[in-house]
Amino acid sequence: MIFRTPAQKSDLEWSWARGDRAFFAAGACHILARAFLTNPIGHGFKPMMIVPGAGFRGGHVFATDGTTVFDYHGFSSHARFLAHYFAKISRIFPGWQGNVLDITDTFWTDDWFDVLQMRRPHQYHRDPSERAAVFVAKMQPKRIREAGQICCSCGREQMGI
């Protein structure tokens, strides 16, 4: 979970120069989710969005099949992902509230981009679509190691919380 300052958000070249995990954690999570969902390994997954309550930050787009989540961490169990996310953001922003919404019907539409003020791919320093596709390709799932923990091609335990 990474938060950028307003100056950092407006500096597209600085944002682009960050490492992949930082880039897709803050400012391009929707680009990564789209790349995953359009890749064959994303079959059966759908886009979801954590929407913060009024006055709070901390929105996030990820893909899930109801059991497994994919985002900039790689793969993790859905239940562990949400527990980790809500616990961590509540420590950063006491009193934080938010909802998890299925955005299947609206994701990647003009209305979705406009209402949520999300950047379209052409609004970045460079189009991040290929960068996201490469990131997804590096995270091909191997197999479930034990209930609730999936490893990726790097062999590390994901979201080891």
What's 89-107 look like in SS3? HHHHCCCCCEEEEECCCCC
pLDDT band at 3 (very low <50, low <70, confident <90, very high): confident
Which tens digits make up the pLDDT trace of 99-130?
A: 999 999 999 999 999 999 999 999 999 999 99
State pTM to two decimals.
Answer: 0.84
How high is the pLDDT of residue 139?
83
Average pLDDT score over residue span 14-38: 93
| Per-residue pLDDT at 152 exceeds 90 | no
- With beta carbons less than 8 A apart as the criterion, state whether 18 and 60 touch: no
What ranges do the domains of the chain cover?
6-150
